[in-house]
């Protein structure tokens, strides 16, 4: 899956890190970054996107680019 963190939307709550800690980490500005897109299961990654209060995480299918979350 292709994972994008929209930095302008991220407010550093860290919920994504709790949901999928091998994929998301906070950088020095407390903005979420993707450290390993394959670090956790797809389910955990989608959950991370869902629990993000600002919907800053966009998950798309690799290859097709089809939006998985949030709904387009």
Smallest separation, CB 55 to ligand SF4 (Å)? 8
- Choice between 66 and 70, CB closer to ligand SF4: 70
54 with 11: CB under 8 angstroms? yes
Q: Which residues bind ligand SF4 (CB under 6 A)?
A: 5, 10-16, 32, 52-54, 56-57
Q: Which one, 14 or 39, has the nearer CB to ligand SF4? A: 14
For residue 46, give the DSSP letter: H
Q: Which is nearer to ligand SF4, 4 or 41 (CB)?
A: 4
Nearest to 34 by CA among 22, 42, 43, 46: 22
d(CA 67, CA 37): 16
């Amino acid at each position: 899956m292709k994972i994008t963190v929209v930095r302008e939307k991220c407010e550093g709550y860290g919920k994504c890190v709790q949901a999928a800690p091998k994929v998301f980490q906070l950088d020095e500005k407390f903005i979420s970054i993707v450290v390993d897109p394959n670090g956790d299961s797809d389910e955990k990654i989608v959950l991370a996107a869902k629990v993000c209060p600002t919907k800053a995480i966009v998950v798309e299918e690799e290859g097709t680019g089809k939006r998985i979350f949030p709904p387009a």
